[in-house]
Amino acid sequence: MNEKRTELADLGEFGLIDHLTKDIQTIHPETLRGIGDDAAVIDLGNEDCQVVSTDLLIEGVHFDLTYMPLKHLGYKSVAINVSDVCAMNAIPKQITVSIAVSNRFSLEALEELYAGIKAACAEYKVDIIGGDTTSSQSGLMISITILGVAAKEKVCYRSGAKEYDLLVVSGDLGGAYMGLQVLEREKEVFKANPNIQPDLDGHDYILQRQLKPNARLDVVGILKELGVQPTSMIDISDGLASEILHLCKASNVGCHLYDEKLPIDAKTSMVAIDFNLDPSMCALNGGEDYELLFTIDQKDVDLIASNPNFTLIGHMTNAADGIYFIDKTGSAHTLRAQGFKHFES
């Protein structure tokens, strides 16, 4: 008997999530939001709610210890979880840390990993409240679950964007991806000749963007000070294009994104050109920038446009109008996510 076999690569990461979770329903009224956002949202029975998110990092998939220092890895593993909480317009409070580790790691190595975890917890004022440790036959795995809190009326979901809302991003884009390209290049040089020292001079900014990203917790405070309530929000972990598609799908809207508006640091652009890459494509599809992407009502445009932390990069349209990238010549191209795809060989 021939049983049908569907390859995971045919679905991709998000298609797999949609397929496995399509029939899941919540039964507890305090579960305000389940699967489908940067974090789940739970009613605490007062004016506040709790947000919960989790991330799993696998050696060889999410990080390469050839060039990722363990202390930086520990810091990054916390920061990317904090970023998910920030994307809900919430404040991080506690984490649990679980690791699976093989016997090629020493106690001193794990102390270095935890030094980074503790440094990030101090930076973001987060408590470590538990976790689990077990053995692994295939290297290092880190799973962190994070808890945060927000006032119910301040929580931002992916599903709140409306036609005519403006699309805004914090910081600059593409740096983490170009940092990764430099590290991968130097890794190949080292493999070919271990006597050659890595050439990392002048790349401090993009290397930090990749190895030690900062969650934009400050943005949550800035928006509060400005009196701006985003209509939707998401963090940029898989690339700008992918996150815009998520917002549009959840909110049932279209989008016009403008190439000329993309915030790209000069160092990122220069390195991209050295690699014969288009800086805009790096910003669209590189991922791991952990900036915040959000939409605002047009009434708030003056508050955002004058703030150096933010860049207006587009606007939302009717869903029937589609999702387009407008290049520097004014030509419209259907926006597609072309970043890293899990499960592909």
- Strand pairing category for 292-296 and 310-318: unpaired
**Residue 118: inside a domain:** yes
> How far apart (Å, rounded) are the C-alpha atoms in residues 13 and 10?
9
- Tell me, what DSSP letter sits at residue 275? T
pLDDT at 343: 43
> Could you tell me if 230 and 317 lie in one domain?
yes
If one compares 206 and 18, the residue with the highest pLDDT of the two is 206
pLDDT, one tens digit per residue, over 125-178 is: 999 999 999 999 889 999 999 999 999 999 999 999 999 999 999 999 999 999
pLDDT at 296: 98
pLDDT, one tens digit per residue, over 48-107 is: 999 999 999 999 999 999 999 999 999 999 999 999 999 999 999 999 999 999 999 999
> How far apart (Å, rounded) are the C-alpha atoms in residues 256 and 126?
37
**Residue 2: inside a domain:** no
> Could you tell me if 102 and 26 lie in one domain?
yes
DSSP string, 42-93: EE-SSSEEEEEEEEEEEBTTTB-TTT--HHHHHHHHHHHHHHHHHTTT-EEE
> Could you tell me if 189 and 272 lie in one domain?
yes
pLDDT at 4: 82
> Could you tell me if 149 and 162 lie in one domain?
no
pLDDT, one tens digit per residue, over 203-256 is: 999 999 999 999 999 999 999 999 999 999 999 999 999 999 999 999 999 999
pLDDT, one tens digit per residue, over 259-283 is: 999 999 999 999 999 999 999 999 9
Q: Whole-model pTM?
A: 0.92
> Could you tell me if 226 and 186 lie in one domain?
yes
Separation of CA 139 from chain center: 24
**Residue 23: inside a domain:** yes
Return the amino acid letter for 345. S
Residue 262: which CATH number?
A: 3.90.650.10
pLDDT at 99: 97
Task: Look at residue 267 and give its three-state secondary structure.
Answer: helix
pLDDT at 18: 76
> Could you tell me if 26 and 172 lie in one domain?
no
pLDDT at 339: 60
Rounded to the nearest 5 percent, the helix, strand and coil shares of the chain are 40, 25, 35
> Could you tell me if 207 and 108 lie in one domain?
no
For the segment 173-189, the average pLDDT, to the nearest whole number, is 96
Structure tokens at 6: 């569907």
> Could you tell me if 78 and 163 lie in one domain?
no
**Residue 340: inside a domain:** no
CB distance 165 to 244 below 8 Å: no
pLDDT band at 26 (very low <50, low <70, confident <90, very high): confident
**Residue 343: inside a domain:** no
pLDDT at 2: 59
| 9-18 own/partner pairs: CB under 8 Å, 24+ apart | 9/341, 9/343, 9/344, 9/345, 11/343, 12/341, 12/342, 12/343, 12/344, 13/341, 13/342, 13/343, 16/343
Boundary of a domain, candidates 154, 173, 206: 154
**Residue 86: inside a domain:** yes
For the segment 2-8, the average pLDDT, to the nearest whole number, is 77
**Residue 237: inside a domain:** yes
> How far apart (Å, rounded) are the C-alpha atoms in residues 101 and 111?
13
Domain range enclosing 320: 158-334
Whether the pLDDT of residue 294 is over 90: the answer is yes
pLDDT band at 342 (very low <50, low <70, confident <90, very high): very low
> Could you tell me if 39 and 165 lie in one domain?
no
Task: Provide the domain count of the chain.
Answer: 2
pLDDT band at 9 (very low <50, low <70, confident <90, very high): confident
Residue 79: which CATH number?
A: 3.30.1330.10
> Could you tell me if 140 and 193 lie in one domain?
no
Boundary of a domain, candidates 90, 120, 154: 154
Boundary of a domain, candidates 154, 188, 212: 154
What is the percent of the chain where pLDDT is above 70?
96
**Residue 1: inside a domain:** no
pLDDT at 76: 98
Whether the pLDDT of residue 341 is over 60: the answer is no
> Could you tell me if 122 and 243 lie in one domain?
no
> Could you tell me if 111 and 79 lie in one domain?
yes
